[in-house]
Structure 1
């Protein structure tokens, strides 16, 4: 099995609903996101997927969230923009595109969202 990971970053604000503590108030983070892909077969070039292609897949998701109040964006108007839910959002959004681009040869293994250098959440299936 082969794996590759791309790290990107973005800055956004959010607040947590149904929460008591500092995070119930609007605040911001300099997020990092890691998307890891996995697959058994490499392409004819010897790549699982070109890193730049994964960056292209991630770009519109990053742009959608960057320098925005996440609570104002779908689907986070309904669900809390926790690190856990953001990790699942990245997983779902990148999975569709990666499967299409690689004709199902490559899958998203997991997505990890760092709110700080020492706190993060991971989603996988």
Structure 2
């Protein structure tokens, strides 16, 4: 089994609804997102996926969040923009975009909200 990963980042503000604490107020983060892909075999060029292609796909997804108030961006206008929910949403967005790559699957998405604080999602 082979596994590759790339990392991207975005800056955004959010607030947690129904939460008692300072995170209920609007605040921002410089988020880091790491995506891991797995495959049992390599392409003819010896890769799971071209790193540049994967970074581009991740960048398209993160652009939907970058420099925004996440609470106003679907689906976070309905669900809390926690790191856990963002990890799942990013996973689902990426999964739809790589579905045509035979034998390649997303193994995990890790969202880092701040130094030493991460949430992961996998299926």
Contact 1:99 1:105 in 2 (8 A): no
1:54 deviation in Å? 0.5
Shift >6 Å, 4+ stretches: none
Which residue of structure 1 lines up, in the alignment, with residue 105 of structure 2? 107
5+ long unaligned stretches in structure 2: none
Aligned to 2:116: 118
Contact 1:110–1:123 at 8 Å: present in 2 too? Answer: yes
State the secondary structure of the residue aligned to 2:77.
Answer: coil
The Cα shift of 1:119 comes to 0.3
TM-score (norm 2): 0.98
Looking at structure 2, the residues matched to 48 and 105 of structure 1 have their Cα atoms a distance apart, in angstroms, of 9
CA deviation map 1:56-101 (0-9, x unaligned): 111221111000000000000000000000000110000111122x
* Alignment pair present for 1:20 and 2:26: no
TM-score by length of 1: 0.96
Q: Which residue of 1 aligns with 2:48?
A: 48
Name which of structure 1's ranges 54-63 and 72-81 shifts more when overlaid on structure 2.
54-63
Q: Which has the higher helix share?
A: 1
**Correspondence for 1:5:** 5
Equivalent pairs, count: 123
